[in-house]
Structures are given as structure tokens and as C-alpha cells.
Amino acid sequence: MNNNQFLETIEQSEIARHKEYLLQVVRPAIDIVKNNDVEPRLGCSRFGGAPDLPVGSEWPTYEGNPYRFLGQINFAEISLTGADLPSTGLLSLFVADDPEGEGCLEAFEDGYVHAIYIPESIDLEEISPPNSDNGKTTVIEFIPAMDIPYDEYQVKDWPFGEEENDIYTEIRDSLHKSSDYLLGYPSHCTLAYDPSPGAGWISLLTIASDDDLEWCWHDGDNLMIFIETERLKNLDFSALKSDAG
């Protein structure tokens, strides 16, 4: 959906009187679609499996425990104008999560998410995790999208009445082709607060639990990862924060 389609959708809805408000809060987003029919190649974007890191890299650890590989994003595969993302580079994301439930951090704790950003094309190799079990993997593809706040906790002066909330939710859902996406606003299942760490932070990645990938965030909810806007501009992914719910 583009800006004109978004505007038309609002104007034809029963919350058209809030058009100006919605135009103020709408943000660019990038839907992430899984493609199980394509074989992963070196350096491609994917969820699960094993990361492609510079030759000779060591597996990242926390408190003596190995991180779990979440996925990697090749920014050169993303086509979206107006988004403050790198145009190139490979971002590998790891989480301090153990499917067996031992030796892991909580999603809201510092260090739960670990990132490795490789700004240029260099010699890469697939690095298997210490347990030698790469797990399932799927290639991911990107679709430009738009997003509006998930709920009243994420913005000031929420203008929608109780009867309008359902219409609002239907419109927001129509903006996405996937529950996994970059940028936009974080979405969740259970929280009654704004999960953003505070002013100067934006949502980097929101992903849902996935049985095939053995992802279970907060009893089957969403994982939300955040980055400071200034760090993103400087291609600094060293201090990400997260929450789940």
C-alpha cells in the first residue's frame, strides 16, 4: 500500500475524521516474507540456520553461553526510499535464548540481543553453532509497507473511541502482509505499555513466534528489537534493546 492508497483507505473508512492525525503518525515499514522454496545462498537474508560471518570468526557468547542465531539481513536486498536503513551491509542477529529453557536472559535484559554488522562485502563463510545443530532456516524477502501505532500506549493523545478501535485495528492489519517486519511500530500480544526504551529509540525489528524455527517469545508472543536513531545513522548496532510480549 502506498501513500495514496493509505489516504484513500482512511477517507473511505468510519474513522475518516482522524485523517490528519493518521497522516502525522504513519511510518515506513518493511514486511518480511518467508520463502521456503528458495535455497539459501552465502550472504542472503534469512531466518534461522547458521550465520555467514567473516572467515575465522568466533561464535558470540554471553556469560559463557553461546548466543542463538536469529537471522541475517542483507540490506542491499531491501528497496525502500525514505527509510533510515543502510543501503548495503550484512546484519547478523543473535539472542540469548535457549529452547531448552536453561542459561538464557530475559528479552528485556541488556545483552539479550547481540548484533554483528559487516559493512562491506568481504570473505564470508557459514559458521556453525557450537552444538553443530544449525536448525531449520528459511530465506526471507522484503516488501515495502506502511505502519501506524499498534495501540494507545505508543502515542500521545490517542483520539479513537471504543467503537472506533476495531476499525482502526482492521486498517492497521491491512497495511501488513506479514507479522514480521522492519521499522514501523512494535506490535505485541499482551503488553499494556509502550515497549520502546524511550525517546531517541525506534523499532528495528518485530517478529512473531514460529514453531518451525523453534521461536517462542514470552509464551508465543512477539519479539521486538529497538535501536537508537543516532546509532542507526552511524551504522552502530552494538547496543540494541529488546522486549517481548
Please name each of the domains of the chain with its CATH number. 3-244 (2.30.320.10)
Cβ-Cβ contacts under 8 Å for 94 (sequence gap 6 or more): 51, 60, 67, 68, 69, 70, 113, 114, 115, 116
Does the pLDDT value for residue 101 go beyond 60? no
Sheet architecture: strand order including 201-208: 113-118, 90-95, 68-74, 46-48, 137-147, 27-35, 181-183, 201-208, 222-228, 241-244
Residue 82 confidence (pLDDT) = 58
pTM of the model: 0.94
Nearest Cα neighbor of 105 from 155, 64, 142 is 64
* pLDDT tens readout for residues 147-190: 999 999 999 899 999 899 999 999 999 999 999 999 999 999 99
Lowest mean pLDDT among 24-38, 53-67, 92-106, 195-209: 92-106
% residues pLDDT > 70 (the chain)? 95
The residue among 85 and 133 whose pLDDT is bigger is 85
Helix (H) or strand (E) holding 20: helix 19-25
Residue 77 confidence (pLDDT) = 95
